[in-house]
Structure 1
Amino acid sequence: MEQKSALEKAILEAGHKCIFYPKFHCELNFIERYWGAAKRYACENCDYSWSSLQCVVPAALESVDTKMIRKFAKKTWRYMDLYRNGITGKLAEYAAKKYKSHRCIPEY
């Protein structure tokens, strides 16, 4: 269990930190929202040839600005706060959309 994967070893040896999120919880990982926005841009601006894709992918990643990435992170924190308070399912989705406080989800 304590053995690190080859990917984790390579990242640590390069001097970076490696944080793995739980699998199948995309709402707890803001990078998934970032990828989604980049993929949307790529789909809208690509003719699906290899050369076009090579040009569009870097532009797609750059198309998501820092402000939007921060919004994605805030939404992720709202979901984490909800789950910590025992709120799940449809109620969690509703509360994450309705309450946009920068501090926390209100007590119920």
Structure 2
Amino acid sequence: MARDGYYTCEDVLAQTTCVMNLLEQNFPESDHVLIFDNAPTHLKRADDSLSAHNMPKGIKHWGVEKSVTAPDGTMAKEKVPMKDGRFADGHPQPFCFPPGHEHAGKFKGMAHILKERGFHDAGKLKAQCKGFKCPEGVTDCCCRRILFGWPDFTDVPTLLETNCQKRGFQVIILPKFHCELSFIEFANRSLRFIDAYRKGLNGKQAAWANKKYRGHRVLPDSIPKELDSNDIA
């Protein structure tokens, strides 16, 4: 667990593994679908997964940072090569030059990667538009924008998806800012209404209290006084 008390992606993966173990043990004949909200811990991808975000345009020694455990048990970062990409026909595209090449081991750079994909004038393009604010509707204005649109860069699975799908579990990650679809929000809302009726509130009062305390699971004991002071009968 992170120092501030929140779950890390590793914690979520471990908990999800326990859930899958229980489901396989108790409901082996069923198909299971695991639903997660749009939290950052649920969206984390492998450290070496494809991303054009920080790629250099030219050939150089470059890698992505990967978290590793140091000999003393602390977490550290080390540079590792990015995973291979995929051409349109599905064949792999290594992003580093092979042994024997004059630039063996070096990262090819966005321009060279795009040339191998058929963009022969990629060397004339900018690495990216200023602030990555590309002209609206334009998809070939800079190297980074072109790569951002390729399927192997857009269809990168999360660690949760990879972990679950390996074991045959389907995964649904809810859209961002769609709390009405979230089973967690629905459950919390239901708990607040249950608590409201338990405290003797009527329908109108329960709806008012539910809206005011929408970030809570239950209502405070002071809710009757708040209803009186706000003339909610």
Q: Give the structure-1-normalised TM-score.
A: 0.36
The structure richer in strand per residue is 2
Larger of the two Rg values belongs to structure: 2
Q: Give the structure-2-normalised TM-score.
A: 0.18
> Which structure ranks higher in relative contact order (CA pairs < 8 Å, sequence separation ≥ 6)?
1
The structure richer in helix per residue is 1
